[in-house]
Amino acid sequence: MLGYPSYTIQIKQLQEKNLHSFDFQYIAYITDETLDFTEEIAGRRATPAALPATLDFVIRSNSSCSTTPANSTVGAECRSEHSFCEDYKGGGNALLGYSCVCSEGYRGNPYVAGGCHDLIWE
């Protein structure tokens, strides 16, 4: 949600061609930045190997991190040793749920054991 109530998605057909009803095939690219299809994709025949993207989500719950059963700063879903639970509040400061984040100096996946790695060793 990242502080926005909604997102706009644009879908554009990059190449006009006559399609029969059984010949529909579309690919969607979800990226963090603007992607210039003309320069970056249209000139190539192959699909790009990777595009920058971030998936961010919130664990919807009526309870905050401080009321999770395991540890008030960890949260049951935060499985990595170097992670903690963070409340997510929406527009009117209403509690919408919480998410797990890696501790300062660490990066990775806080939802799996050993998922947050020390930045020094990367």
pTM of the entire predicted model: 0.48
Q: How confident is the model over 35-75, as pLDDT tens digits? A: 565 555 555 555 556 656 655 667 777 677 765 444 445 56
Beta strands per DSSP E along the chain = 59-60, 83-89, 95-102, 106-108, 116-118
The DSSP letter of residue 37 is H
> 99 pLDDT exceeds 60?
yes
